[in-house]
Amino acid sequence: MTSSNLPSLRVAIVGAGPAGIYAGNILTNTVAALRQAQEPGSYRVAIDLFESLPAPYGLIRYGVAPDHPRIKGIVNSLHEMLDAGTTRFIGNVEVGRDISLAELQERYDAVILATGAIRDAALDIPGIDLPRSFGAADFVAWYDGHPDVPTEWPLDQREVAVIGNGNVALDVARVLAKHAVDLRPTEIADNVLAGLESSAVTDVHVFGRRGPGDIKFTPIELRELGEVPDVDIVVHDEDFIDADPTGAANNQLKVMLRILNSWRTRESTGASRRLHLHFYHSPVEVLGSAETGVSGIRFERNEPIGDGRVRGTGEFREFAVQQVYRAVGYYGTPVIDAPFDERAGVVSNVEGRVRDASTTGDTDAPVIAGLYATGWIKRGPVGLIGHTKSDAMETIAHLVADAEAGRLTPPAVDGDVLDLLDEREVAFTTWDGWLALDAHERELGATHEHTRERVKVVPRDEQVQISRGALVP
C-alpha cells in the first residue's frame, strides 16, 4: 500500500507556539517511523495547526525581549518544521469564538491543546490593582509588538519597581533601564521605540523574596545587565548573607554569584540610569491611592533559614516608586469548553491526556478520548524550550498509543475545515501568508533609517491584510 492510500489520522493542534509546533513535528516523525518500520495498521497523519494570532511562534515572537536575537534563533528550527509542509498553519482563528472545540472534535480524530500561558499570575497584596501597577506579561506584550495590546505605554515616571527574580523580571528591568538608542538595531516595532525614546525612567528596582543563591536567572541574562551602556548596577552588601560562590549547588549558580559579588566593589560611573537589585524582600503592600496611583511599595525584610527557604524578620521597609511591575509567573490560557483547573492554571490532564474537570484532583479520573494537552497549558509555566520538546514527546506517545489501540473516535464530519471558516467569513491566515508577512517585515527593516533584521507590523488588521495578499499601501 502506498503512502497516499494509507488511512489518515486527522489531528488539530490549538496553539502555534513552540509547544504546538514541536507536537506536530514529533507526531509527524513518529508516524513516519512506524510506516518505515512497516508496523501493522500503519497510517499517515494530517495536521492542522490553529493559532489565534495571524503569525506563528507564540511567545518566541511575542514573549522574548527584542534585544535577545540568540533566543529568537529558535525560530529558525520552528520555521523548518512548518515549512516542511506536513503541518498546515491556520492563523487568526480563535478556538471558542470562530470555531468551537466541539466542532474540532467532530472533524478530527484528536485535538491537542497547546495554548500556553500568556496572562500574569496574581499577586494578592493590597494596592496591587492601583493605577500604574502592571503585570509584566502586558508590558512584555507591548514591547514585543503584540497586536492585542495598546500601542502606547506610560513611561512618564522616574522610579519603578519590578517584583520577581526570574528571567522575565530581568528582561522587564533591562528594557526599562536601557536607552532606546541601544535597541534601534533590533526588530523592535517603531511605536515601541518611540515610547522608549521618551521614557522618563531613571531608577529601576528589582526585588526578590529570597537571596542571591536562589535567583532564577541565567548567567547570560545576568551578565548582560552589567554591559548595558550608561546604566549603573547597584547592589547592597546586606543582601549577600548567603552568596559564597564556592558553596553553589551547580556551576551555573557559581557563575552568577561571582557576577553579583563583582558588582559589590564596582564603583558608580555616574550613569544617567540605575538598576538596583534587592534580595530578601517580600512585597506586603503597594502604596498610593485610586486618585493618584502608585506612590511606593512596602516590603518585609526576610532572612534565610536553609534549603532556599526564608522567613520574615518583622522589619518593614518602604521604597518610593511610581510604577510597579509584577513578574511572579504566568497563568495558563484556557480554551472555551475544555476542562480547566483554576487553581493550577492548567488544563486538567494526566500525562497529557485531558480528563473531566468534574474530577479535578483525582488522578484516576477518566480521560476524554481524543483530547490532549502539551506545553505550559499541560504542566504550568515552568521550564525552558527543551522541556517543551520532551513534554510534547510524552503527549504524542499517548496519542499514538490511543490511535493504535483504537481508542480514538473517527471524525463525524467530512470536509475541509477551511470551507467552514470561509462560510463564517473568518479571515484566516496561512503559511504562505506568514511568508509574505515575514518578507514584508524584513523589507521594512532593510529600508529603515536604522537598518535592522526586521520591523514588526503591529496592527492585527494590517498583518491579516498582508498575509492574505492585500498589501497595505
Name the binding residues for NADP(+): 165-168, 209-210, 221, 383
Q: How many CB atoms lie within 10 A of CB 413?
A: 12
- Nearest CA to 370 out of 179, 110, 112, 147 is that of 110
- Residue ranges for the known binding site are 19, 51, 59, 95, 165-168, 209-210, 221, 376, 383-385
Q: Please, are residues 300 and 316 in contact by the beta-carbon 8 Å criterion? A: yes
**The three three-digit cell numbers of residue 195, written as one number:** 515610547
HEC-encoded secondary structure of 379-442: HCCCCCHHHHHHHHHHHHHHHHHHHHCCCCCCCCCCCCHHHHHHHCCCCCECHHHHHHHHHHHH
Q: Please, are residues 396 and 73 in contact by the beta-carbon 8 Å criterion? A: no
CA distance 217 to 257: 11
* Residue 76 backbone phi and psi in degrees, to 5: -60, -45
CA distance 313 to 304: 10
Q: 243: burial class by Cβ within 10 Å (0-12, 13-18, 19+)?
A: buried
CA distance 76 to 57: 10
3-state secondary structure of 146: coil
- Residue ranges for the known binding site for FAD are 19, 51, 59, 95, 376, 383-385
CA distance 206 to 176: 11
CA distance 391 to 266: 42
Between CA 282 and CA 192, with CA 149 as vertex, the angle to 5 degrees is 90
- β-pairing verdict for 349-350 and 353-355: antiparallel
C-alpha radius of gyration, the chain, whole number = 24
CA distance 261 to 122: 32
3-state secondary structure of 293: strand
- Nearest CA to 160 out of 274, 241, 304 is that of 274
HEC-encoded secondary structure of 76-91: HHHHHHHHCCCEEEEE
Q: 301 - beta bridge partners? A: 281
CA distance 367 to 407: 11
